[in-house]
Amino acid sequence: MLPANTPNQRPSDGRLLVVDAHGRLRHAARGDLARVLSPGDLLVANDAATLPASLHGHHLRTGAAIEIRLAGRRSIAADAVFEFDAVVFGAGDHCTRTEDRPPPPTLLPGDTLGLGPLRATVRKLLGHPRLVALRFAGTADAIWAGIARHGKPIQYAHIVQPLALWDVWTRIAALPVAFEPPSAGFVLDWKLIGELAARRIGFATLTHAAGISSTGDQQLDARLPFDEPYLLPPSTVHAVEQTRQRSGRVVALGTTVVRALEHAVSQSPRLRAGPGIATQRIGPATRLRVVDAIITGTHEPGSSHYDLLHAFAGAALLARISDALEQAAYRTHEFGDSLLLQRQAEAIPRAARAVGTLSALPA
């Protein structure tokens, strides 16, 4: 697969690989998404807007140039902006591959980082020299203003031109809480949402603080995804319940939606609305209780996004999918092509036994 190297959210030649519940593969145009889904289905999207979470500055004790990438927080509340987890790099920018970026100077608790108009203190190291807990100085309004004025979207070397903030906001972007874009949602526009309604396909949203996709360090990447806060609205819980009653499919638009819905139902016998923090890793051992299918980007084996797909299909089918994507030259990364993968039929009875009140799963 080739990396998509231009920030075009909805290219006219965008493609969609469709994998049904029996492992059958077919190619479609991504613009045909509404016709690929079925009446009675529910599409759930992440409406998080993306923060300009890359902040350049200096490590004041040594004077060394650094870049921090905000990577985690404990809440998506507007005033919960004082403390973040962050990945820290030495001098450089996105034009250098992340895995080739130099490390930062030695970071110690109490060190101060000057980040444009912002000042942040290293509270502690989080088990790795590049991963730290930070506390920003100032009022919540001043911190938000500093991030907005000085920050840039996180980006990687496969896209050479600097990203603008509008490049990484989906059409339904709401609260600015994501550290990288919930890029599966790039497929959305108001025309598609209208087509969904015309075909009696439901549409609902949740807000999930989508995290970073790569740290450039194998040890740190093995810890991805980090814990991510979310908010599940009552209207979305109601939409899921209504979809179950009519035997429709709950289709997650992106891995963050899967994490949020499956974490929310794991906390009680029923899916409940409200805030939460998705702390789980989803993979081969996961028994999906809410989500029947996922629409996602094309991910390379070994990434945390790819590992999540093992909850929907076995290794053999995922290998076939990767081969099909490779042979058809699908584009990968955040501005690439898409995959629609339904949970495989053999996994449904197993999952249904564990669901209780959410056991009405379509074949």
- Each residue of 142-175: pLDDT tens digit? 999 999 999 999 999 999 899 999 999 999 999 9
User: Are 313 and 250 part of one and the same domain?
Assistant: yes
Q: Specify the number of domains making up the chain.
A: 2
CA–CA separation, 303 and 276 (whole Å):
24
**Is position 157 within any domain?**
no
pLDDT for res 354: 38
Write the pLDDT tens digit of every residue in 75-100.
Answer: 999 999 999 999 999 999 999 999 99
CA–CA separation, 38 and 24 (whole Å):
17
User: Are 143 and 267 part of one and the same domain?
Assistant: no
Neighbours of 259 (CB within 10 A): 26
Q: Which of 116, 150, 184 is the last residue of a domain?
A: 150
Q: If you average pLDDT over every residue of the chain, what do you get? A: 93
User: Are 343 and 234 part of one and the same domain?
Assistant: yes
Write the DSSP assignment of 154-173 as a string of letters.
---TT--SPPPGGGS--TT-
pLDDT for res 215: 94
Residue 103 has pLDDT above 90, yes or no: yes
pLDDT (average), residues 4-11 = 91
User: Are 167 and 267 part of one and the same domain?
Assistant: yes
Q: Specify the CATH number for the domain of residue 120.
A: 2.40.10
pLDDT for res 303: 85
How sure is the predictor about 359, in pLDDT bands with cuts at 50, 70 and 90? very low
Helix (H) or strand (E) holding 255, with range, is helix 255-266
Q: Which of 130, 150, 170 is the last residue of a domain?
A: 150
pLDDT for res 120: 98
**Is position 267 within any domain?**
yes
CB distance 116 to 130 below 8 Å: no
pLDDT for res 152: 98
**Is position 188 within any domain?**
yes
User: Are 43 and 189 part of one and the same domain?
Assistant: yes
CB burial readout 24-44, b (16+ within 10 A) else e: ebeeeebbebbebbeebbbbb
Write the pLDDT tens digit of every residue in 182-222.
Answer: 999 999 999 999 999 999 999 999 999 999 999 999 999 99
pLDDT for res 263: 97
pLDDT (average), residues 4-30 = 95
How sure is the predictor about 268, in pLDDT bands with cuts at 50, 70 and 90? confident
User: Are 103 and 205 part of one and the same domain?
Assistant: no
Residue 24 has pLDDT above 80, yes or no: yes
Place of tokens 């093992």: 310
pLDDT (average), residues 236-263 = 97
CA–CA separation, 78 and 177 (whole Å):
9
pLDDT for res 52: 98
pLDDT for res 1: 65
CA–CA separation, 187 and 358 (whole Å):
28
Residue 363 has pLDDT above 80, yes or no: no
User: Are 234 and 97 part of one and the same domain?
Assistant: no
Closest CA to 121 of 137, 143, 138, 104: 137
Q: Specify the CATH number for the domain of residue 335.
A: 3.40.1780.10
User: Are 114 and 197 part of one and the same domain?
Assistant: no
**Is position 156 within any domain?**
no
Both tokens of 332, joined, read: 């990968």
User: Are 107 and 195 part of one and the same domain?
Assistant: no
**Is position 363 within any domain?**
no
Peptide bond into 117 cis (omega under 30): no
User: Are 206 and 137 part of one and the same domain?
Assistant: no
**Is position 155 within any domain?**
no
CB distance 30 to 15 below 8 Å: yes
CA–CA separation, 278 and 263 (whole Å):
6
Can you give the residue range of the structural domain that contains 24? 2-50+162-358
CA–CA separation, 198 and 35 (whole Å):
10
Neighbours of 222 (CB within 10 A): 10
User: Are 132 and 268 part of one and the same domain?
Assistant: no
**Separation in Å, CA 312 to CA 321, 348, 358:** 12, 10, 17
Q: Which of 150, 185, 208 is the last residue of a domain?
A: 150
Closest CA to 85 of 139, 130, 137, 147: 130
User: Are 46 and 61 part of one and the same domain?
Assistant: no
**Is position 292 within any domain?**
yes
CA–CA separation, 180 and 297 (whole Å):
14
Both tokens of 225, joined, read: 């995804």
**Is position 178 within any domain?**
yes
